């Protein structure tokens, strides 16, 4: 069986992680191809809530998130970036305590988070409920429009001369003198591979007999029709279970990681009304005027996770020249930056910040 | 002129007319008919402005799907084609 | 309302209504839900309370028949009830329904979807002008309120509906400026053999046509409306002779009824996992179901125009088949009605659908500046550019341009967008499925979806790890 060219790297998965890494390695002179089973940016990267919030990032990931914010700011209008600042709200004493504890740690980790008084809050966001017990603010917070991920990276890949194939699921990987990938569009050969398959990493790694402890979360997002201006910054909840912003076009996007149904192997997941309803209730509690707003769509996306909730970024254990990047909590925010680190690692350069060994012991606190 | 399809207009008996307001203007409609029917009869075809190009829009599908007839009643966006006329109804542009 | 029903039927048209009747007759506990105030569906839509007295039409008679049978039946009918989400929960289905301004949940062991059709309107310049309404949509104005879209109306579109609408306008005292149909007389001649079995419908159609001719209403065969004039409201239309590609007559008018056939409302079936296939003779994408409505999804049955455009007669017969099948599968002793009558009716229905589907030239009517996605005011050029730069699926175009993210949820743009994708990427339309359907099935006010709640009772899960 003869094939086309042998690429220096084949990247499996055309989400943010895959596409952004492709751009980095290609900039370093490596010939790359990106393969996606569906369309580019139709996985988590294209359906997420788009929140760029330091206030909901994990403490140890803060340096990465700060860098990630700068990447998004540079992408600017083409990805619908807006730095609006964000408020995180606590509605009772228990949540206020949680807010103080968490935001203090995050602030110590470098996020410019401050606590704000009720008066400040009301002046800034007059449509918020008056039942706020405590609130924090981060001027760096904002959002981008995840729907544009596919469009954005398609253009970038094309500009960089990086081929990509859509509708090109990798169903088998043969090793020996590089890698040969089986796809519906014929075999593809490459010297290296990067597994960037998001919530599909486990079955993909299994093609190489590697067991990655990846599970999928089924996050839900809802959106309203266009509304009069109701809020000007990103609104969050102390538990992280509400993220909300009003886009320039007037629609309000409501997320917070409420769980839907389904598995990545089986379609695009299903919204569960039993979790959407409390998510919407929380939004309405924060901004009572939302009550009359019509919800036009709720949807789900699959986000990958490992037991210690830290990224997988580095060499795939036991398979020379194979790499893995995924499972990043807040991966939309951090994705463009951690992909640069990953790309540098693949290019044989020392990344600016440490990666996250995919072969670590997940039961221990190793990060 | 011979008509094979008879004109039934005169044989239709409708409920009393009531007055409601659309965009602060009084409009007459028959109690219980759809807002769209009353607004069309009164010549109010232009119900809203489209986003982006601000072009005028009016009822289109007449079955509650297209959302082109969206208006506001009691602070709530509703489809005019699925809302019923009553006296003193206050209908605003969405 | 929390009690488990044996069968829930979504849609109270000829299909859903008959499904509910036969299932209830077998002893099953049946609930039927519809967003309309009365049963009847699109074809037999009931009148609003504003009509105190009116001459009877065949639609009134048929609708009244169904309504009175249902009111005597043990089936519970929930009117003015919108189903906005459906989910499988273990061995039953849970339906989120919006009723009296609040969300309630209904559960059932088996589910029959009889959601019917909506219409396809080929985008043409000016079709967003107030005063342009759907051709099928016009019939719902007539049926509900016996009112007219304007004083002088152009009626344009495919299939038999164009003549029905023109005739109804005349019956209700309006003036028809012209009838414009892309169909040719030859199209109709070809369809005649399949109409022989439906002499009543044939006679009715002949009467409409003869009346229009006697009244000297211009009938433009093989023509389409190429442009609508007017800004705040319709003032006139231009036509094109499709065969010769030259301009036809223009007409002054204050309203236009415009349609190009029907498409099945498949979103609910799709959401629940029913496979879909492309069949133009059934109106495009349809869910896969047996003649008696059974699907590969456990406890899910489909019937009527919602699983392929076959017309009201076939819908009613398939409703009976599906209701009986669903009841039998649950162990009730329901009849096994013969499939033959449905097959005969569907042959006629398919012939009408074949006449109604957009003409091959139809897409050329959508000029580069024509709005394709009404909700977001996106032109054909906007969509085409997105396709040219690499968006080759309806989901990708939706993500990139918001086409399908507006309040209608893509119901009125996706057919045209799929055709553009197919044309520009040399794919067959059958390789361009509609985008992933998502709830709510209709826009729902947030407060009515959330319902009353106490903050302290919200089931807020454990926060994310620090
Ligand atoms: C606007 C319109 C007008 C038509 N007029 C005619 C006509 O005059 N003559 C003719 O022969 N054919 C007509 N048709 C064709 C029509 O499809 C008929 O063939 C027939 O009505 C089909 O019957 P059905 O029971 O399958 O669906 P329908 O009669 O369409 O019934 C489906 C029912 O489901 C309900 N429904 C759907 N989704 C939901 C939901 N989420 N929640 C609650 N309720 C829901 C709808 O309100 C509707 O009453 C029309 C179609 C349309 C779209
Ligand atoms: C609903 C939701 C909301 C979220 N909200 C936020 C937020 O507000 N802020 C934030 O920072 N993060 C958020 N996230 C997280 C963030 O979206 C993800 O961490 C990030 O997008 C992951 O990117 P990825 O490239 O690893 O995965 P994906 O974008 O999922 O990409 C993986 C790709 O691999 C492809 N693929 C899989 N298997 C194969 C195969 N065998 N062959 C070929 N291709 C394959 C898939 O089709 C997919 O396109 C959210 C996630 C979800 C799901
Ligand atoms: S006219 Fe389409 S929703 Fe009312």
Asked if residue A135 and residue A154 are part of one domain, the reply reads no
E strands along C305-440, which residues?
371-373, 378-379
Question: Model confidence over C209-238: pLDDT tens digits?
Answer: 999 999 999 999 999 999 999 999 999 999
The residues near C287 (Cβ < 8 Å, ≥ 6 apart) are C264, C266, C269, C270, C274, C275, C276, C295, C302, C306, C307
What's the mean pLDDT when you consider all of chain C?
Answer: 96
Backbone angles phi, psi at A194, to 5 degrees: -120, 125
Asked if residue A175 and residue A85 are part of one domain, the reply reads no
> How sure is the predictor about C337, in pLDDT bands with cuts at 50, 70 and 90?
very high
pLDDT above 50 (res C1): no
Asked if residue A219 and residue A242 are part of one domain, the reply reads yes
Ligand number with the minimum distance to the CA of C201: 1
Backbone angles phi, psi at A18, to 5 degrees: -65, -50
User: Quick one: tokens of C451?
Assistant: 């319902």
Average pLDDT rounded to a whole number, residues C31-40 = 98
User: Quick one: tokens of C215?
Assistant: 């009244």
Question: Would you call C330 helix, strand, or coil by DSSP?
Answer: coil
Question: Would you call C140 helix, strand, or coil by DSSP?
Answer: helix
Closest CA to C145 of B21, B32, B39, B70: B32
pLDDT above 80 (res C361): no
Asked if residue A135 and residue A168 are part of one domain, the reply reads no
Closest CA to A21 of A355, A335, A350, A304: A335
Torsion, Cα of C320, C322, C328, C332 (10° steps): -50
The CATH code of the domain at B15-93 is 3.10.20.440
Question: C128, B45: Cβ pair inside 8 Å?
Answer: no
- Residues β-bridged to residue A346: none
Residue nearest to atom 53 of ligand 2 (CA): A301
Closest CA to C302 of C117, C116, C114: C114
Distance CA C123, CA B57 (A): 14
- Chain B positions touching A250 (Cβ under 8 A) are 51
C333 touches chain B (CB under 8 A): no
Question: Would you call A100 helix, strand, or coil by DSSP?
Answer: helix
Question: Would you call A176 helix, strand, or coil by DSSP?
Answer: coil
Question: Model confidence over B19-37: pLDDT tens digits?
Answer: 999 999 999 999 999 999 9
Question: C445, B77: Cβ pair inside 8 Å?
Answer: yes
Asked if residue A154 and residue A276 are part of one domain, the reply reads no
Closest CA to C370 of C381, C362, C361, C360: C381
**Contact between residue C228 and residue C132 where contact means Cβ atoms under 8 Å apart:** yes
Distance CA C219, CA C211 (A): 12
Structural domains counted in chain A = 2
Distance CA C301, CA C112 (A): 5
Q: What is the pTM of this model?
A: 0.97
Which residues constitute the domain of residue A339?
Answer: 6-44+147-214+308-346
- Chain B positions touching A292 (Cβ under 8 A) are 75-77
> How sure is the predictor about C381, in pLDDT bands with cuts at 50, 70 and 90?
very high
Distance CA A144, CA A78 (A): 9
Domains by residue range for chain C, with CATH = 4-118+263-353 (3.50.50.60), 121-260 (3.50.50.60), 366-431 (1.10.10.1100)
- Residues β-bridged to residue C111: C8, C300
Asked if residue A91 and residue A20 are part of one domain, the reply reads no
> How sure is the predictor about C360, in pLDDT bands with cuts at 50, 70 and 90?
confident
- Residues β-bridged to residue A297: A223
A51 part of a folded domain: no
Distance CA C16, CA C268 (A): 14
The residues near A340 (Cβ < 8 Å, ≥ 6 apart) are A20, A21, A24, A71, A351, A352
Asked if residue A323 and residue A266 are part of one domain, the reply reads no
Distance CA C293, CA C342 (A): 12
In which residue ranges of chain A is pLDDT below 70? 1-3
Question: Would you call C228 helix, strand, or coil by DSSP?
Answer: strand
Question: A102, C453: Cβ pair inside 8 Å?
Answer: no
Check residue C191 and give its pLDDT: 86
Question: Would you call B3 helix, strand, or coil by DSSP?
Answer: coil
Q: What angle do CA A6, A8, A11 make, to 5 degrees?
A: 100
Exposure class string for C385-413: b at 16+ Cβ within 10 A, else e: ebbeebbbbbbbbbbbbbbbbbbbbbbbb
Asked if residue A155 and residue A116 are part of one domain, the reply reads no
Q: What angle do CA A71, A244, A238 make, to 5 degrees?
A: 95
Residue nearest to atom 19 of ligand 2 (CA): A331
Interface probe with B: pick from A224, A225, A290, most Cβ of B within 10 Å: A225
Residues with CB under 6 A from ligand 3: B 59-62, 64-69, 79, 81
Percent of chain C topping pLDDT 70: 100
- Considering only B33-47, C155-169, C200-214, C259-273, which range has the smallest mean pLDDT? C200-214
> How sure is the predictor about B2, in pLDDT bands with cuts at 50, 70 and 90?
confident
Closest CA to A176 of A159, A157, A189, A163: A189
Distance CA A207, CA A175 (A): 11
Question: B56, C442: Cβ pair inside 8 Å?
Answer: no
Check residue C131 and give its pLDDT: 98
Distance CA A17, CA A197 (A): 8
A70 part of a folded domain: no
Asked if residue A297 and residue A224 are part of one domain, the reply reads yes
Distance CA C346, CA C356 (A): 15
Asked if residue A242 and residue A199 are part of one domain, the reply reads no
CATH number at residue A169: 3.50.50.60
User: Quick one: tokens of B68?
Assistant: 């082109």
Closest CA to C157 of C204, C205, C208, C122: C122
Asked if residue A292 and residue A203 are part of one domain, the reply reads no
Question: Would you call A273 helix, strand, or coil by DSSP?
Answer: helix
CATH number at residue A98: 3.30.9.10
C269 lines ligand 1 (CB under 6 A): no
Give CA separation, A306 vs A213, A311, C234, in Å. 6, 8, 60
A31 part of a folded domain: yes
Backbone angles phi, psi at C390, to 5 degrees: 115, -5
> What is the H or E stretch that residue C240 is in?
strand C236-241
Ligand number with the minimum distance to the CA of B37: 3
């Amino acid at each position: 069986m003869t094939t086309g060219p042998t690429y220096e790297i084949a990247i499996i998965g055309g989400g943010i992680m895959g596409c952004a890494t492709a751009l980095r390695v290609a900039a370093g002179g490596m010939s790359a191809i990106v393969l996606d089973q569906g369309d580019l940016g139709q996985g988590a990267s294209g359906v997420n809530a788009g929140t760029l919030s330091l206030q909901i990032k994990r403490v140890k990931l803060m340096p990465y998130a700060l860098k990630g914010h700068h990447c998004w700011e540079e992408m600017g209008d083409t990805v619908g970036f807006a730095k609006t600042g964000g408020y995180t709200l606590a509605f009772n004493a228990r949540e206020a305590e949680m807010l103080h504890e968490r935001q203090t740690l995050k602030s110590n980790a470098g996020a410019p988070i401050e606590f704000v008084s009720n008066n400040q809050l009301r002046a800034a966001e007059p449509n918020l409920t008056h039942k706020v017990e405590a609130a924090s603010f981060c001027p760096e917070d904002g959002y981008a429009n995840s729907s544009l991920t596919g469009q954005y990276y398609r253009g970038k890949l094309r500009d960089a001369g990086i081929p990509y194939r859509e509708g090109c699921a990798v169903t088998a990987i043969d090793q020996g003198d590089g890698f040969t990938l089986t796809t519906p569009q014929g075999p593809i050969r490459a010297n290296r591979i990067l597994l960037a398959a998001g919530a599909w990493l486990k079955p993909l790694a299994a093609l190489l007999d590697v067991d990655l402890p990846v599970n999928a979360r089924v996050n839900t997002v809802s959106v309203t029709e266009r509304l009069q201006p109701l809020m000007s910054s990103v609104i969050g909840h102390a538990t992280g279970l509400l993220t909300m912003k009003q886009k320039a076009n007037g629609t309000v996007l409501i997320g917070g990681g409420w769980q839907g149904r389904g598995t990545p192997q089986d379609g695009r997941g299903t919204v569960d009304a039993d979790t959407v309803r409390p998510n919407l209730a929380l939004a309405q509690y924060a901004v009572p005027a939302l009550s009359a707003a019509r919800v036009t769509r709720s949807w789900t996306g699959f986000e990958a996770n490992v037991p210690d909730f830290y990224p997988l970024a580095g060499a795939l254990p036991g398979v020379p020249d194979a790499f893995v990047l995924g499972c990043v909590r807040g991966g939309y925010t951090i994705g463009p930056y951690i992909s640069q680190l990953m790309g540098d690692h693949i290019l044989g350069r020392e990344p600016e910040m440490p990666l996250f060994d995919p072969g670590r012991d997940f039961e221990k606190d190793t990060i | 002129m011979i008509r094979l399809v008879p004109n039934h207009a005169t044989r239709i008996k409708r409920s009393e007319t009531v007055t409601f307001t659309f965009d602060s203007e009084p409009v007459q409609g028959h109690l219980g008919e759809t807002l769209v029917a009353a607004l069309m009869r009164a010549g109010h075809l232009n119900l809203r402005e489209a986003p982006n190009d601000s072009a005028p829009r009016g009822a289109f599908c007449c079955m509650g799907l297209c959302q082109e007839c969206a208006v506001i009643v009691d602070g709530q966006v509703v489809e005019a084609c699925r809302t019923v006329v009553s006296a003193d109804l206050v209908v605003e542009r969405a | 309302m929390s009690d488990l029903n044996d069968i829930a039927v979504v849609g109270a048209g000829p299909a859903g209504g008959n499904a509910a009747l036969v299932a209830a007759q077998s002893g099953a506990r049946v609930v039927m839900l519809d967003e309309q105030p009365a049963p009847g569906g699109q074809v037999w839509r009931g009148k609003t309370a504003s009509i105190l007295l009116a001459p009877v039409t065949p639609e009134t008679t048929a609708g009244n028949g169904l309504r009175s049978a249902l009111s005597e039946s043990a089936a519970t009918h929930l009117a003015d009830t919108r189903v906005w989400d459906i989910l499988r929960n273990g061995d039953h289905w849970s339906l989120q329904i919006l009723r009296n301004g609040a969300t309630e949940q209904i559960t059932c062991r088996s589910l029959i979807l009889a959601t019917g059709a909506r219409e396809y309107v080929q985008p043409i310049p000016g079709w967003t002008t107030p005063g342009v309404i759907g051709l099928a949509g016009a019939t719902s104005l007539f049926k509900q309120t016996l009112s007219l879209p304007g004083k002088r109306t152009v009626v344009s579109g495919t299939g038999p509906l164009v003549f029905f609408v023109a005739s109804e306008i005349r019956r209700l005292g309006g003036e028809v400026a012209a009838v414009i149909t892309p169909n040719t007389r030859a199209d109709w001649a070809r369809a005649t053999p399949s109409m022989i079995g439906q002499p009543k419908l044939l006679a009715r159609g002949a009467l409409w046509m003869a009346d229009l001719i006697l009244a000297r209403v211009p009938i433009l065969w093989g023509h389409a409306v190429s442009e609508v004039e007017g800004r705040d409201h319709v003032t006139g239309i231009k036509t094109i002779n499709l065969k010769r590609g030259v301009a036809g007559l223009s007409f002054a008018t204050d309203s236009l009824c415009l349609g190009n056939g029907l498409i099945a409302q498949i979103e609910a079936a799709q959401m629940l996992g029913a496979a879909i296939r492309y069949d133009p003779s059934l109106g495009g994408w349809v869910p896969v179901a047996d003649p008696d409505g059974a699907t590969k999804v456990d406890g899910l049955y489909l019937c009527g125009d919602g699983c392929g455009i076959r017309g009201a007669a076939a819908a009613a017969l398939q409703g009976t088949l599906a209701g009986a099948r669903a009841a039998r599968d649950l162990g009730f002793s329901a009849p096994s009605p013969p499939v033959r009558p449905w097959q005969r009716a569907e042959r006629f229905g398919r012939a009408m659908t074949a006449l109604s589907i957009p003409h091959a030239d139809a897409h050329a009517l959508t000029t580069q500046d024509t709005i394709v996605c009404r909700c977001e005011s996106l032109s054909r050029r906007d969509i085409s550019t997105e396709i040219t730069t690499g968006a080759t699926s309806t989901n990708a175009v939706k993500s990139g341009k918001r086409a399908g993210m507006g309040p209608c949820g893509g119901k009125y743009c996706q057919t045209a967008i799929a055709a553009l994708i197919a044309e520009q990427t040399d794919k067959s339309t059958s390789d361009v499925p509609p985008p992933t359907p998502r709830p709510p099935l209709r826009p729902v006010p947030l407060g009515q979806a959330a319902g009353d709640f106490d903050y302290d009772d919200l089931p807020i899960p454990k926060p994310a790890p620090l």
